[in-house]
Chain A
Amino acid sequence: MIRRLLVKELTELRRDGRVLGSLAILLLLALGAGFSAWQQARVQHAAWHAASDGEHERWLGQEAKHPHSAAHYGVYAFRPPGPLAAFDPGLEPYLPVTVWMEAHRQNEALYRPAADTGAAGRFAALTPAAIFGALLPLLVLLLAAPLISGERERGTLRQLLAQGVPPQRIVVGKGLALAVLLVALLLPPWLLVCAVLLIGGADGDVLLRWTLLAVMGVLFLGGVALLCLLVSACCRQTRTALLLLLGIWATGTLLAPRVVMEWAEIRHPTPSALEFRQAIDAGLADGRLRDERIEARAESLLRQHGVDDLADLPVNFDAVRLQEGEEHGNRVFDAVFGRLHDGYLAQERWLQGAGWVAPFLAFTALSSGLAGSDLLHYRHFVDSAEAHRRMIQRAMNDAIYSQPETDGERFMAAPELWATIPPFEYQPLAIGDVMRFYGVGWAALLAWFVIPLLALLRVSRRLAP
């Protein structure tokens, strides 16, 4: 019986010109957005490659110089686009693309692409993720709203029930029809991307991310479809169902992100650039601990080598001063940058938490997380770059340490020293860490799937004609 109901629903959907028209428009938009996103990701990737390679070559090409001069010359780290940024560029346009790693200072990352985009870029971007998360639910809403309330309005529901069809089956038939349509719509592009990833030699991590995106998409869109069916089952008129669902869509998709982010900002305020820089300057200026440590090191080295003057040490004490200076800076940077990024991530958690109220928010957070274009990945990049910077500083200072300056002659390191520093190769965050961070988002999406499902089953048992 369900099969018959399913076939009837699918036939109706197929013969509805509006359904086909909307699908065609959506498909066209998705194609345009997908192509544009892919093109951009490709260009960004190429630029990232060229710039990263160029930077490493420049580092290697340094002439013989004092290692600390090389530390001051520094290296730029470039942020690669997220592994699936072509699907969801997420925060990419608003995240700085490069950070200069030099001696003494953890610099702020520079150049947000959006600053060069112009005001029009501030409207919602047409990305595959946006089409999936915002526009497809709108289509589902238009399709699903009249499914049950329409039958009720026309009086056909009364006829069906009078024929002895169990109400649950009617609802299941409708739900299945919707599911079949959505799967038919989404499975081919998903498989296509799988094929492209496989041919392009993507690693298991990327494929896993893509699969998890699909699971998340099923939960989200399934939840949306179930909610629409539930509203349709409860409304006497299609018009009421439509208006109610449109209201929910507009609130959840349009209003909620801004309201929630404003709220998040109140709960976890981002410092102004001025406060942030002042905090760093103040931290760096307070060098008491550094000076104490330098003094202690000096004493212990003098004792160890049995000499009275630092100049008589068989090692270069300047390196100790430099490294202690680094350690001092690192403590300040860990605290101040840590506070900034902790605040950022707390806001992201807040956004996920708001997913309990508006599932679109959980979708947005998770989608950018799995695509690798979120703050979690950005912070990981910044931390990785900082770790690399500290590694360079330590290596340079170690080189100085072993070369005591005699007769006022400055030590000049040979270019071989530069080759001991590996290029900065950013490894995206492990998927396990991503999943851990987004646990709340997953739970919220799951709830948004299960609760409407249970409610629909309950309502369908006593479906009023």
Chain B
Amino acid sequence: MKAPRFSRAVFLGEWRLLWRDPAAWVVLGVLTAALLGALWQGLAREQAVASSLAELAQADADRMEAAADLAQWLADTEGGISRFRDPRSADVVGRRLGVQHLALPPTALSALAVGQSDLYPAWHPVSLESRDRLQAEGELTHPRQLAVGRFDLSFVVVFVAPLLLLGLLASVPARERETGMLPWVVVQGGGLGSWLLGRVLLRWLLVLLPTLLCGVLAVLLQAMALAAAGDGQTVVRGLLWAAQVTGYLAFWAALALWVGTLPLDGARSALALAFAWLLFVVLIPAVTQVVLDLAHPQPSRMAYVDAMRDATDLARAEGSEALVRYLEDHPELAGDAVDADDFFAQRLLVQERVEAELAPLSAAFEAQRAARARQAAWLRLTSPALLTMDGLADAAGTGEPRHRHFMAQVHGFHSEWRAFFAPRVLSGERFLDHDRVPGFGYEQEPLRLLMPRSSWLLTATAGFTVLFGWLALRRWRSLPKVLGHV
């Protein structure tokens, strides 16, 4: 293929053709409506998350302050309170009054993709409770909404935009071929390849530019709402997001280019493109899921709970945690016969024993899950839609990897919390270190982790683009086939 060489007249002509094409306006209208709808949805969602997180942080701080004040008052006045509610008990503070809700802060891009954020909660309460409790609590989302997926920008990019782009490209150059205009174009001498490429590029830009613009708008609005524009990662994440969108739409343009070189009339070419869309966006992702389910069945949570209960029973046999729970709920029934501090210590030991029993079980569950995830990562290579869906969420910071990175910090902080409170609970001393409890500082997922992942996804998508581009190029070289003479 020769490098495109166009005069102003051709650009003008192409522009006029597009401008006067009602289909282009329909596409632009539908795309704009979809983008704005998704933008609004994303911003509203992030707004709700941000206010939830702020409320939680405030509630944590208020609770702790009240506890410290009460402890001070009790110390000053030597007033009485049940040990089970005493803010001077390390157990009471570590387990209830001091609960810290660790939050995964939204990025300036999180309005761009829901990713997995509707499934995984944005915050986890850390206390002396067992680690297992951390994973169990989830955000409330309507299950049907989880099943059908959100109407976010990722959906518009992955599902809607290619459909609109293909709608514009279905007649390029099928209409010219059908009407017999194509030989004429060839004779004019501009080079069929560059002519076609120019035409496809223009339509590609018609879909790409509004999408990118909407992305930029979303980031600006979100950054304004969060007042977090200073985040150094925003630019990199934004560029990655834009690269994913560009690469993905380039793949569809390359595919349309290749279909354009096949000797098909308009209707067949439209059908071929519709089938390609169905294949890459619906069928392949669905089939990979079936393959995964058959090859790596999802570990069963029921079996996990079953085993967990057995393990817990075993550990409890040595202590009497149930009794502690009972007393905790009914301190008025405990009377003087019960030494609360003994129970706190005993419960902590039982809990640690239960966790030790559960550790191999959790590890096995996690290993099974990870094996499936590894397989799934490879299976993404079967469709650019799968690659891009992950890539968009990852760039926006709502994907699984960033959440895992956060969870690792949550677990780390949980251990720190335990390490701080456990000796104080076991010693049974009065707890007065309210201002010394560990605080959580979220650490951004470093870009050196994000970059290789995103680059890999981008490269794989680019691989598809190159493949179809190469197929198209091969057919251009044999001009008669393109013209449909043979």
Contacts and interface: CB of A to CB of B under 8 A. Distances in A.
- Indicate if A touches B (C-beta under 8 A): yes
Interface of A: 29, 32-33, 35-36, 39-40, 43-44, 47-48, 50-51, 54-55, 58, 65-66, 68-70, 72-73, 76, 78, 90-91, 93-98, 103-104, 108, 110-126, 130, 134, 138, 142, 238-239, 242-243, 246, 250, 254-255, 257-259, 261-262, 264-265, 270-274, 276, 318, 340, 344, 347-348, 351, 375, 378, 408
A250 B309 contact: no
A20 to B, nearest CB: 16
B293 interface: yes
B119 A51 contact: no
Contact of A119 (B138, B148, B400): B400
A39 B292 CA distance: 13
A270 B322 contact: no
Nearest to A253: B282
Nearest to B316: A73
Nearest to A262: B151
A111 B305 contact: yes
B168 to A, nearest CB: 13
Contacts of A111: 136, 301, 304-305
Contact of B271 (A54, A242, A375): A242
A348 B286 contact: no
Contacts of A78: 302, 305
Contact of B298 (A90, A117, A119, A254): A117
A264 B119 CA distance: 18
A367 B297 CA distance: 25
Contacts of B278: 138
Given A69-B323, A123-B386, A375-B143, A258 B149 contact: yes
Contacts of A274: 52, 55-56, 123
A22 to B, nearest CB: 10
Given A126-B289, A262-B41, 8 more contacts: A47-B303, A72-B322, A78-B305, A90-B147, A108-B137, A114-B119, A134-B282, A258-B150
Contacts of B363: none
A259 B302 contact: no
Contacts of B151: 258-259, 261-262
Contact of A246 (B37, B266, B274, B301): B274
Interface stretch (B207-215, B222-230, B368-376): B368-376
A140 to B, nearest CB: 15
A98 B160 contact: no
Given A115-B119, A119-B400, A130-B286, A103 B141 contact: no
15 contacts: A40-B297, A44-B302, A47-B300, A51-B302, A65-B322, A95-B143, A97-B301, A97-B302, A116-B298, A125-B286, A126-B290, A239-B270, A261-B145, A273-B138, A351-B144
Interface string B90-104: 000000000000000
Given A103-B329, A104-B329, A123 B302 contact: no
Contacts of B137: 108, 273
Contacts of A258: 148-151, 155
Interface of B: 37, 41, 48, 52, 55-56, 115-116, 119-121, 123, 136-151, 155, 159-160, 163, 266-267, 270-271, 274, 278, 282-283, 285-290, 292-294, 297-306, 309-310, 313, 322-323, 325-326, 329, 333, 335, 337, 369, 372-373, 376, 379-380, 385-386, 389-390, 393, 399-400
B380 A120 contact: yes
Contact of B309 (A32, A54, A94, A238): A54
Given A47-B302, A51-B302, A126 B286 contact: yes
Nearest to A250: B163
A112 B400 contact: no
Nearest to A107: B136
Contacts of A408: 335, 337
Contacts of A91: 143-144, 146-147
A123 B389 contact: yes
Nearest to A350: B144
A119 B119 CA distance: 10
A51 B302 CA distance: 6
A119 B390 contact: yes
Given A265-B142, A378-B143, A76 B309 contact: yes
A257 B305 contact: no
A73 B283 CA distance: 47
A122 B369 contact: no
Contacts of B390: 119-120
| Of B123, B145, B159, most A-chain CB atoms within 10 Å | B145
Contacts of A122: 116, 149, 389
Nearest to A365: B144
A98 B142 contact: no
B293 A40 contact: yes
Contacts of A69: 322-323, 326
Q: Among the interface residues A93, A116, A117, A125, which one has the most CB atoms of the partner chain B within 10 A?
A: A116
A255 B160 contact: yes
Give the interface centre of B37, B155, B293 by most chain A CB atoms within 10 Å. Answer: B293
Nearest to B373: A118
B309 A55 contact: yes
A265 B145 contact: yes
A116 B142 contact: no
Contact of A36 (B155, B159, B294, B376): B294
Contacts of B159: 254
A290 B91 CA distance: 28
Contacts of B306: 47, 50-51, 54-55
| Pairs A-B, 5 closest by C-beta atoms | A126-B286, A123-B285, A111-B301, A94-B143, A257-B148
A68 B119 CA distance: 35
Nearest to B293: A36
Contacts of B385: 123
B299 to A, nearest CB: 7
Contact of B270 (A76, A243, A272): A243
B293 A98 contact: no
A123 B138 contact: no
A264 B150 CA distance: 12
Given A116-B299, A265-B142, A375-B144, A318 B333 contact: yes
Contacts of B155: 258
Contacts of A93: 147
A357 B204 CA distance: 32
Contacts of B290: 32-33, 36, 126
B298 to A, nearest CB: 6
Contact of A72 (B136, B143, B326): B326
A123 B290 CA distance: 12
A51 B400 contact: no
A317 B136 CA distance: 36
A49 to B, nearest CB: 9
Given A120-B376, A126-B290, A270-B140, A29 B267 contact: no
Contacts of A43: 297, 300
Given A58-B310, A119-B389, A126-B289, A98 B305 contact: yes
A123 B266 contact: no
Contacts of A250: 163
B302 A39 contact: no
A201 B400 CA distance: 42
B304 to A, nearest CB: 8
A32 B283 CA distance: 12
A121 B147 CA distance: 10
A58 B270 CA distance: 62
A347 B144 contact: yes
